[in-house]
Structure 1
Amino acid sequence: MSVSNGEALALDLTWAGFGSCLRAMAARITADGRPSVVVGVLRGGMVPAVALAHQLGVRDVRAIGIEHTRDEGTDAEKYPEPRVLDPASLGVFTPGADVLVVDDVAGSGASLAVACSLLPDTVARVRRAVVVVNTVNWAKANAGEPQQHCHYIGATCAGWVRFPWEVR
């Protein structure tokens, strides 16, 4: 799903729009096989991670704290590289686990990549899901399409995204 008026410069995603994105993502994820573990990237990725876990019937939900944006402002400055806050928060994975890593928004995809790099080699499958891809930032950071790095994308927009749980 692409969100646009010629692709919006900013997106105010409503609860209804969020629900629509998640239902579509859950259907595609289910078609590829239900994961055994869902990992949310803190902070913004936890809301969609928990919601997806409910829709998928997955009870094992984990969190990993990764900071890439320095503050809450529109077009906020970013750290040069995503910072992992507590890698031990992921816990121990059963060998052969099928893991879905979830984030709210991807600009460069770097936070998702870092989260995936923290998973042990014993994990059998790792998939990435993101509610919205900011295509402007993606184009600056990557030569390819978001689908090369994100298996499941709810929507795209050409700019900043505000989610319904964020302060307005």
Structure 2
Amino acid sequence: MSHDAQPELHYLEYYEDFLAKVRVLSRKIRDGEWKPEFIIGVGRGGLVPAVYISHQLELPMLSIDHSSKVPGFADELLGKVAGMSAEGKRLLFVDDINDSGGTIEYIRQLLGDNGCDAQNLRFAVLINNTRSKAVAELYVDEIDRDEDKRWFVFPWESVGTREAIVDEARSVPERLG
């Protein structure tokens, strides 16, 4: 895709559809064998679904802001979270999409480097790319990024300007084909 080409934006802005996906994901979590003790929203995209899942399952929620890259709000908090898992707490990280797998891979690595017990860790997403380099154990919808080049625009993103959305999509050209 050339830098000037327009990405195919796919808006997921219907609240009812989003809520249905959150309910499906919550049901999978509730009915699964592995039971989390904390929901951890991965900022920015995972914060909104994490809040809903936290309420739906009546579990406490923590948040990290991986996307901001601001010291003190991501890596340092992940170090504390790793300690919780080492003490036996089961942690479910929630994000909007597992696309390239970079976020999940980064978080797993950092947690592992800080003594996390991997058995106490799971990831849940609304959309999972089968070609991702990382595993999300729980998801609602699945795509194959080799075939599906849409840029998903979640309800909380749809309030942004089209220019900002297109710029974000273009910042990851390998996902767009």
Matched AA of 2:101: G
Deviations 1:21-63 (A, max 9, x none): 111111111112431111111111111111111111111x222
Relative to structure 2, which stretch is displaced further, 97-106 or 9-18? Answer: 9-18
1:130 alignment counterpart:
125
Distance 2:54 2:21 in 1: 14
Distance 1:156 1:57 in 2: 26
1:35 alignment counterpart:
36
Relative to structure 2, which stretch is displaced further, 32-41 or 46-55? Answer: 32-41
Residue 110 (structure 2) pairs with residue 105 (structure 1) = no
1:11 alignment counterpart:
10
Match of 2:77 among 89, 92, 115: 89
Match of 1:114 among 76, 96, 106: 106
8 A Cα contact 1:41 1:115, kept in partner: no
Distance 1:84 1:93 in 2: 22
More helix by share: 2
Residue 139 (structure 2) pairs with residue 153 (structure 1) = yes
Residue 38 (structure 2) pairs with residue 47 (structure 1) = no
- Note the C-alpha offset of 1:93: 1.4
Q: TM-score, normalised by structure 1?
A: 0.69
Distance 1:124 1:132 in 2: 23
Matched AA of 2:123: R
Say if 1:54 and 1:89 are closer, same or farther in 2 by CA, change over 3 A. Answer: same
8 A Cα contact 1:64 1:89, kept in partner: yes
Say if 1:110 and 1:161 are closer, same or farther in 2 by CA, change over 3 A. Answer: same
Residue 153 (structure 2) pairs with residue 162 (structure 1) = yes
Distance 1:34 1:84 in 2: 31
Relative to structure 2, which stretch is displaced further, 91-100 or 38-47? Answer: 91-100
Instruction: Provide structure 2 residue ranges, at least 5 long, that are not aligned to the other structure.
Output: 1-7, 161-177
- Note the C-alpha offset of 1:126: 0.9
- Note the C-alpha offset of 1:64: 2.0
Distance 2:110 2:22 in 1: 25
Q: TM-score, normalised by structure 2?
A: 0.66
Larger Rg: 2
Give the RMSD, CA atoms, in angstroms: 2.5
- Note the C-alpha offset of 1:11: 2.7
Instruction: Provide structure 1 residue ranges, at least 5 long, that are not aligned to the other structure.
Output: 1-8, 69-82, 143-147
